[in-house]
Every structure is written in structure tokens, then in C-alpha cells.
Amino acid sequence: MVGRHVNQVYATWTSFTISHSGIHSFLNARNLSNVGWQTNEPGYQSFSLEYGEIPWALQQPSGYYEQMAVIASTGLHTEAQNLKNRSVLCELLTVPVPDVTVPSRFKMNWPMILESNVMLGQLSVGCFEKFVAPSRLFCALRCKLKIQCVSFYFNRSTAICQLSLYVDSRLPNTELSQPGIYLRFARIN
């Protein structure tokens, strides 16, 4: 989905259908702040967008908790991920597909230290693949072999592994009721 290059949409399009963009705050809720938002673009998931990089509409961003930015004729607006079904505007990128034969590196507390591994709001859920894994290493291997995986969470108490796909995201709010503690590891190469 269009992320860092969303300004080009406004430079070339004259009519709009409200569409999801690749700009989000699933890893670090931004609330009313217009800086620190992330993109789902391969190779840029660990970077925060700066002031002026996002063409916000007036009085935007306007929501709380984890949100995504939608493309509208007046500029970007924020809304919860599960609020409405929308069309998607995609962009062809030239970032090479990760080579699964090369060792992958995972790091805790990257690209930032999170206050919680679980989302604060209940309307956004990210995109996860959840399964039982015998170990954290097995969980890491499954993430490595799936090119859509940008980070993984492992709960040793329950042996549950969750792969965060396409977008680096905290776990859905529903995980608060689960026993044990999830550790988060982000893919850094």
C-alpha cells in the first residue's frame, strides 16, 4: 500500500475513492501527534515518518489508540483498522524480496522500546498468524521463512507464537486476557 510516496497520489490524481494507505500507528499509538507514524513499505518498516512527510487533512490526526491513515480528497484522515471496509491503493516498489537462504537477524526492543506488547485500543488488530510452537527458535524460523513476517511474539508459558505480517504491530487487545508474557522480536534484515 502507498506509504512514504502518498504525496505523489495527490500530485497525480484528480478524483478519489477513500482508500487505506500503508501509514499506521499499530506499533506505537500516536494519538493526536502528526509525527512518528510508520509505513508498511518493505525496507522502511523500522522508520518513523517525520513532520511534513504526511499530507494530513485539517484537524488530523484526530483519533486515539492505534490507527491507520486513509487517503481522502482533502488529505489523510485517521481511523481504526476495523472501522470500515475500504479499497486499497497499492504501489509497486523495487525493494528486493528477502532471500530466505540468508540468515535473518531478530532483535528485542527494536526499533523502539514499547510500553506494552498489546494494543491499547480494541478496534485495530494488526495482521497475525497464530500457532503453537515448541520453542522461540522454531517461532523465529517460521517468521524467517515467511517473507511477509516483520516481527514475531512468543509466549513461553503457553507455547503460542504470533507472526506479525505485512505491518509491524503490537498484539491485539484481546491478548491481555491470555496467561504468560509475550516477548517481541523484530526482523532487522
Cα angle: 28, vertex 29, 34; to 5 degrees = 105
Q: Residue 14's pLDDT is what? A: 63
User: Three-state DSSP class for 19?
Assistant: strand
Averaged confidence pLDDT in the chain:
87
The Cα 136–Cα 152 span in angstroms is 9
pTM for the model stands at 0.87
Of the three residues 39, 69, 95, the one that is the final residue of a domain is 95
In whole angstroms, give the CA distance from residue 183 to residue 185.
7
Query: Are 24 and 54 part of one and the same domain?
Result: yes
How far is the C-alpha of 111 from the C-alpha of 187, rounded, in Å? 10
Same domain, 15 and 85: yes
* Residue 154, domain extent: 106-187
pLDDT in tens, 118-128: 999 888 899 99
Residues 183 and 117 both lie in one domain: yes
Could you tell me if 21 and 82 lie in one domain? yes
The region of weakest confidence among 100-109, 127-136, 151-160, 176-185 is 100-109
**Residue 4 sits in the same domain as residue 85:** yes
Does residue 179 have a cis bond before it (omega within 30 degrees)?
A: no
Domain count, the chain: 2
Q: Which residue has the higher pLDDT, 94 or 186?
A: 186
Within a domain: 173: yes
Per the CB < 8 A criterion, the answer to whether 108 and 117 are in contact is: no
Residue 114 resides in a domain: yes
pLDDT in tens, 65-106: 899 999 888 889 998 887 667 777 777 777 777 777 888 899
